[in-house]
Structure formats: C-alpha cells, structure tokens
C-alpha cells in the first residue's frame, strides 16, 4: 500500500509547469492539504473526474501563499468550484487564472518602411540620452519565444528550453520590448541595448523573475475577468520588492467589452496600458466606437497598439494590433529609465510615466477620464528619470511614519526622514502625495529648497519662470505643480 506521502506526491504535479490550457481550475487555501484530499467529500469527487493539484505560487516567499493550492479537473469550472466548497479543510476558494494572450489578428502586412509607433512615443529622443544598459534586465512573461530569432540572439539571459508552447506572440512582445537594435536587420526596439529574461506565462514565473533580479516585467496576457486575492498578494510581493509591473489592458472584446476590467492589468500595483493609433486615436477606425481596445478607470497610460510594426518569427516582419503590443513599448521605456537612473523607485517610474504623458483628450472626447494619464512620451520620461535626484528635504516625519498612503503632513517632528516611509513606513498602495496648487504653497511646504523641473526635465527657478506646469520631488514621489 502506498504511503500517505507517496499518495500526495502522485497528486502534486510539477511546480514549474502550472497551467494546462483549457482546463478548469480553482485556487484554495489549506493548512493541511494532505488531510483535505483524503476526506470523503474530496475522494467522492475525484472518483468522478481527473483531478490534479499544484502549488501555483511556489516561488513566493510569503508563508501564507505557500498554503495556496490549485485544484484542476476535467469538468465544468462551476461544478469544480461548488464541489470544493463541500470539502472540509479547504478555505478561500476562488476561480483560478486561465492564461490567454491578448493578440488581435488583423490585416497583416509583410513589410513596412518606417516605425510610426517608435516615432510617436519619441524613441529617438530617449535614445539621445541612453540606448539602454545591458545590465538592466527586463522580464517578459509570455507563451514562448523563437530564441533563434535574429532580434533575440544574444539578447536574453534566461530562457526555459523545455517550453513547448506557441512562439509567435511571445516573440513579438519580447522583440518590441528589447529586440536587437542598430544591427541592420529587421526593426528597432524601444529597449535597445537592455537585456531580456524570457519566462513562461503565469504568476509563479512573475515571482521567479522578480527574485532573479528582473527590474520590470511585461505581462501581455489575460488571466481572467475576476479579482483574485491570492494573485493580488503575490503581485504586491513583487511590486513592493522593487519590480515594476506592466500589463495589457485588453482588446475591447476582452471580458465582455472595452469598459470591463481585465486581470492582471486591473490590479492596483500593475501599470495598465491600452492603445492608440498614429494620430493618438483611441478608436482604431475613427468614428467607430466598436473599434477600440479597453478604456476604464484602471487604465494608466496609452501607447501605440493598432497596426504596430513587429516580428513574430525569424525573417517574418508584419504589423499587428492588440494591447499586447502597446504594453511592451511602456516596458521597454521603463528599462531605459532604469538605465539612466538605477536607483529610481517604482513610485518614481509610475509618476514620471504619468506626468510626462501627452494629453490626448482633445482627440478622444468620448473617452476622457478612461485613458489614464494620456499617451506614452518615452523621450520625456527618460529625460526626467535622468534628472531626478535623491531628495533630502524634511517633511517632519522623522523617517518613521506609517501612513498607509505614503504621506503624512500631521506630524511636525524634527528628523530628516523623507515622508516617513524611508524604510520604516507601511506602504500598501502606489503612494500619491497631494498636489500643491500655487507657487506660494510650494514655498511654504518646501521652503524653496527642493529641486523643481519643467516638463522637459530642465531644472528651473520658480521665481523666474512663466506660469505653467512644473514638477517637484518628495520621497521619490513626483507631484505635478501648476504655477
């Protein structure tokens, strides 16, 4: 007779390959999974269908997430969900992710003479400042990759050769992020000389990339249309650990319509990217509201996502549409921002991407408030990243504050801490310092001692410049200032 340990091991599948596409799965939490799977309720269900168990977040260093299990079965997902609620010893039962790429096939072209997407976001202006540091590693989590592609050879530091999934989508995404550039072959990439770490498409791989030291991760995929608190905890682990997360917002029909929330993009710590065309048009076909990608309150930024020049296989260059191809342009830009400022924080990256974005409300009046901060401006974002420095101004919080939003004006204190979250505060969300509205307020709050920049990243003196929009830094948070 098999031992209990042996029985459990036959149920636990490999912790590397976690998802079988097209299968139903739920995630549960259990203090004693070996006991739960031997209850009569569980064995009765397993006698009717093929059940597989895995730890979907095994790479997490959060002890509570080590108690999370994925239960997968060849049955209807609702039936699985109901059945697991009847099993003693299981709690926190939620529908599990089903990973799908966010690609929207359209009228492909076999060649293109220019790259309007890179032109629109000001790629060359960014490259004037940096072509990227090869020591900066950008993570891509996707299906699979043609690693023998002329745009990927020599570019990646990690790849799982046992991956047998389709390579087209991942190749397109990875080469948009940081494919070989200035090599007289194919096309250019916003990430230029930065390096790539190529991972499988699931949350455990996102954790793996983070703990391998990857600075920013691109997720051009859908895991579901519903919130999952286990995934949220895992992604906070990654974000608070210093890895910036970027994801595709959805392709308009995703999750039922363009206003629907799509995960992982809709999680608070993930930077959600949707699409514009060559004229900053959110509607691919201007005047046709049914031709948009996602627009909702969770979208953070827009980037080129319609008819984007790309490559999906060795020697095959074409155009494609989808937020899958908008997000990589933001991810590659973040790689350049880190290249010029290795100490830049996630909060600073978030703020600079938003504050340097081009306002496109006039071109898209029907979507005002649903397109995030506007359209990606890579040149300005990298310029600002290169110029921001370490702020030593005292906000009177002694470096020991615990305000959850990362800002506490109530404690006058005498220390030299930066907003109380200098290693001792508890930040649970992207911190946003309240904006100051006038020069007088700025001088009162900061005593005129902080560096202030114009929107092109040039340091200025508020006393000698005309009215306009300016930036001021405090504890790594950039605030938009109107004078």
CATH code of the domain containing 168: 3.40.50.200
Within-domain flag for 166: yes
> Using only C-alpha atoms, what is the Rg of the chain?
24
% of the chain beyond a pLDDT of 70: 73
Residue 388 pLDDT: 78
Q: What's the number of CA atoms in the CB half-sphere (13 Å) around residue 3?
A: 3
| Number of domains into which the chain is organized | 3
> Which residue range(s) make up the domain with 450?
439-482
Within-domain flag for 423: no
Structure token pair of residue 457: 């990243």
Do 80 and 127 lie in a common domain? Answer: no
Within-domain flag for 132: yes
Within-domain flag for 334: yes
Average pLDDT of the residues of the chain: 81
Whether pLDDT at 409 is above 70: no
Residue 390 preceded by cis peptide, ω within 30: no
Do 9 and 53 lie in a common domain? Answer: yes
Whether pLDDT at 237 is above 70: yes
Q: Which residue has the tokens 């983070």?
A: 210
Within-domain flag for 403: no
Do 357 and 288 lie in a common domain? Answer: yes
Residue 48 pLDDT: 75
Q: Is 184 left (phi over 0), alpha (psi -120 to 50) or beta?
A: left
Q: Which of 357, 387, 417 is the last residue of a domain?
A: 387
Whether pLDDT at 13 is above 50: no
Residue 408 pLDDT: 36
For the ranges 135-144, 185-194, 267-276, the lowest mean pLDDT is seen at 185-194
What is the pTM assigned to this prediction? Answer: 0.78
Within-domain flag for 136: yes
- How far is it, in rounded angstroms, from Cα 253 to Cα 225? 12
CB 180 within 8 A of CB 238: no
Whether pLDDT at 302 is above 90: yes
Do 334 and 467 lie in a common domain? Answer: no
- How far is it, in rounded angstroms, from Cα 66 to Cα 234? 11
Do 197 and 317 lie in a common domain? Answer: yes
Give Cα 58 distance to the centre of its chain. Answer: 20
Nearest CA-CA partner of 18 in 99, 82, 75: 99
Do 152 and 264 lie in a common domain? Answer: yes
Q: Which of 387, 402, 425 is the last residue of a domain?
A: 387
Beta bridge pairs of residue 311: 317
Give Cα 93 distance to the centre of its chain. Answer: 25
Q: Which residue has the higher pLDDT, 361 or 399?
A: 361
Whether pLDDT at 17 is above 90: no
Residue 145 pLDDT: 98
- How far is it, in rounded angstroms, from Cα 344 to Cα 160? 29
CA distances from 347 to 245, 328, 433 (A): 12, 19, 11
Do 191 and 111 lie in a common domain? Answer: yes
Do 293 and 170 lie in a common domain? Answer: yes
H or E element, residue 198: strand 195-199
CB 27 within 8 A of CB 89: no
Do 12 and 129 lie in a common domain? Answer: no
For the ranges 15-24, 64-73, 447-456, the lowest mean pLDDT is seen at 15-24
Do 447 and 353 lie in a common domain? Answer: no
Whether pLDDT at 207 is above 50: yes
Q: Which of 96, 120, 152 is the last residue of a domain?
A: 96
């Amino acid at each position: 007779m098999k031992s209990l340990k042996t029985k459990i091991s036959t149920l636990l599948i490999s912790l590397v390959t976690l998802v079988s596409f097209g299968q139903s799965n739920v995630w549960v939490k259990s203090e004693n999974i070996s006991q739960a799977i031997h209850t009569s309720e569980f064995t009765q269900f397993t006698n009717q269908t093929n059940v597989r168990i895995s730890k979907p977040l095994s790479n997490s260093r959060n002890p509570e997430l080590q108690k999370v299990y994925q239960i997968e079965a060849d049955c209807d997902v609702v039936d699985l969900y109901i059945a697991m609620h009847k099993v003693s010893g299981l709690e926190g039962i939620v529908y599990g992710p089903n990973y799908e790429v966010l690609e929207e096939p359209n009228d492909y072209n076999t060649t293109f003479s220019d790259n309007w997407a890179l032109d629109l976001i000001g790629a060359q202006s960014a490259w004037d400042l940096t072509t990227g540091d090869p020591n900066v590693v950008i993570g891509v989590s996707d299906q699979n990759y043609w690693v023998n592609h002329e745009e990927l050879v020599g570019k990646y530091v990690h790849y799982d050769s046992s991956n047998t999934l389709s390579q087209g989508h991942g190749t397109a995404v990875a080469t948009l992020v940081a494919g070989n550039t200035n090599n007289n072959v194919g096309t250019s990439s916003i990430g230029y000389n930065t390096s790539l770490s190529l991972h499988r498409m699931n949350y455990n791989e996102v954790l793996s990339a983070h703990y391998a030291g990857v600075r920013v991760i691109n997720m051009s995929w859908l895991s579901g249309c519903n919130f999952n608190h286990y995934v949220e905890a895992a992604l906070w682990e990654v974000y608070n650990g210093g890895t910036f997360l970027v994801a595709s917002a959805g392709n308009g029909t995703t999750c039922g319509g363009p206003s629907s929330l799509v995960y992982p993009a809709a999680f608070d710590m993930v930077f959600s990217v949707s699409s514009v065309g060559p004229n900053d048009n959110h509607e691919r076909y201007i005047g046709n509201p049914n031709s948009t990608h996602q627009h909702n309150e969770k979208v953070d930024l827009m980037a080129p996502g319609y008819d984007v020049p790309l490559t999906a296989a060795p020697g095959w260059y074409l155009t494609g549409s989808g937020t899958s191809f908008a997000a990589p342009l933001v991810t590659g830009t973040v790689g350049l921002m880190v290249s010029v400022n290795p100490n830049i924080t996630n909060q600073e990256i978030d703020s600079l991407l938003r504050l340097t974005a081009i306002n496109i409300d006039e071109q898209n009046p029907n979507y005002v408030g649903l397109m995030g901060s506007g359209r990606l401006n890579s040149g300005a974002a990298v310029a600002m990243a290169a110029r921001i420095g370490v702020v030593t101004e005292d906000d009177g919080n002694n470096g020991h504050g615990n305000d959850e939003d990362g800002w506490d004006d109530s404690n006058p204190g005498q220390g030299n801490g930066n907003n109380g979250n200098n290693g001792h505060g508890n930040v649970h969300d992207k911190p946003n310092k309240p904006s100051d509205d006038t020069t007088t307020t700025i001088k009162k709050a900061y005593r005129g001692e902080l560096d202030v920049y114009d929107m092109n990243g040039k340091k200025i003196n508020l006393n000698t410049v005309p009215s306009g929009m300016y930036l001021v830094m405090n504890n790594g948070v950039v605030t938009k200032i109107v004078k």
